[in-house]
Structures are given as C-alpha cells and as structure tokens.
Amino acid sequence: MEKHNIIGSDEQTETSLPTVLCKRWIEFKEKSKGAEYVTLEWTEGQGLTLKALHNGTIYKYVLEAQGLKSWLSYVLDVPEGKVVEGEIHFPWTRRKNV
C-alpha cells in the first residue's frame, strides 16, 4: 500500500486505493483522461512523477530525468536539439532580482 497525500492535508496517509504503475505514457494518458485530480512532482536526479486519481484508482507514471528531453521533443513535436534546460530571455526585458 502506498502513502498518498490526501487533498487539504500536509500529512501522508495510507489509503486503500489501488495504484497502477503505467510503464508507457500512452497508457497513463488514456487511463487518466477526465481524472478528478492530477499531481506532478519533480525529484532532482530521478525525474518527473505524475499521479492521477480516476474512478477510485491512482495511476502513476514516472519519467526519468534523462528521458525528459526526448519525451518533450516527441510530445511537442520539436527537434530534440531545440529542447534545452533553462529559461528564455528577451533582450528588451529585464529580469527581476529574486
């Protein structure tokens, strides 16, 4: 049984909801359409974890960090060489100091 954050709570609680680990993006996408909730979590060095609650089942998909550029290239129909980590800045705008 996995621990999941319940909406509106900072605590992790064990649930009896079944969790399905989808190995392929298309499976997660099909099973998650119309989900009640979708969460995403980036874990440095591991990747992006997506979870969707749909019809009493939690669907989970993990995209490893090294596969993210290829995946974005495919999903967005952009050459992989044009997918870069960083930000876009235009010369006529100023960055705010944070």
Structural fold of domain 3-80: 3.30.720
- 60 and 22 in contact (C-beta within 8 Å)? yes
The more confident residue out of 44 and 25 is 25
CA-to-CA distance for 48 and 26, rounded, in angstroms? Answer: 16
Residues pairing with 21 in the sheet? 60
Q: Which residue has the higher pLDDT, 89 or 83?
A: 83
Q: Does the structure show a pLDDT above 80 at 31?
A: yes
Write the CB contacts of 3 (distance below 8 Å, at least 6 apart in sequence): 12, 13, 14, 15
pLDDT of residue 45: 78
**pLDDT at position 44, please?**
81
The residue among 98 and 74 whose pLDDT is bigger is 74
Name the more confident of 38 and 7: 38
Task: Assess whether pLDDT exceeds 50 at residue 42.
Answer: yes
Q: 49 with 61: CB under 8 angstroms?
A: yes
